[in-house]
Amino acid sequence: MNNKIQKYRGKYIAILMLLGIYSCNIDTSQKLPNRNWQLTWSDEFNGASGDSPDAAKWSYDIGTGANGWGNRELEYYTNRPKNVSMDGNGNLLITALKENYLSATYTSARIKTKGILEQKYGRFEARLKTPFGQGLWPAFWMLGSNVDTATWPLCGEIDIMELRGQTPNIIQSTIHGPGYSGNDGISATNGLFNSRYDNQFHVFAVEWDENKLDFFVDDYLFKRIQKSDVESKGQWVFDNPFFLILNVAVGGNFVGDPNTLTPFPQTMTVDYVRVYK
């Protein structure tokens, strides 16, 4: 690499790091152990076109932010096939629509494994392609299974992947708990150069044990959060089972509202979800 190119690249990366876009791998002294993962649960979404998600694996959150999830989201979550169904080609489609429905002007879907798949520690991954556009908020994430009794953030939250639709080349991974919730969550971003997360499928994963959480995109480890990092801010609440959630929100504190240029419908396409121990 000639000196001019190297100098330019160095300045470019420095700017991106200041913006929180460029992600470096972990310190090479932190080696990943040999991991012999065993599959404990999966959904390959191999149903016929228009089929709803397998009721033995997923349930739904129905309604609006008034039902308790807040965040100033604008959508009404439904269980209708037009918002969540298989495409007949091995994918699940979660589709946000601009339409008047009950109390909302947008609809979408939010599915979860609560009471079905709840696991402590392991590898949790999904291969998916995101939607895009101002005000779109796709996410693959987890909540502590004690959320109904401990409430949030004491139950803990692990955001494996969330994305602002207006910046479709950057994903964020975050954990929330007592002392580090909301805007103070512990997080990192991972950006793509010359590509976007809505252009092709990527695998998003977290590997979680009693001492740390490792976040990956396509097996690239871009963030490690140690238990000691968490305890310097608040309480470590990641020693209980968690369940999975997939959703596409419209609007909210994280992304802002859609605008006149936001294209609808918008779909998150999920190839598979797999869980290992």
Catalytically annotated residues: 157, 162
Phi, psi of 62 (to 5 degrees): -120, 135
Where helices occur in the chain by DSSP H, the ranges are 3-19, 147-150, 227-231
Report whether 131 contacts 248 (CB < 8 A): yes
What does the DSSP assignment read for 137-190? EEEEEEEETTHHHH-TTTT-EEEEEEE-TTSTTEEEEEEEBTTB-GGG-EEEEE
Q: Which helix (H) or strand (E) holds 237?
A: none
Length of the chain measured in residues: 277
- Measured between alpha carbons, how far is 199 from 188 in angstroms, rounded to an integer? 22
- Rounded CA-CA distance 58/40 in Å is 15
Q: Three-state DSSP class for 10? A: helix
Closest-CA residue to 109 (of 174, 52, 30, 186):
52
| Cross-strand partners of 272 | 127
Contacts of 83 (CB under 8 A, 6+ apart): 77, 94, 95, 96, 97, 107, 108, 109
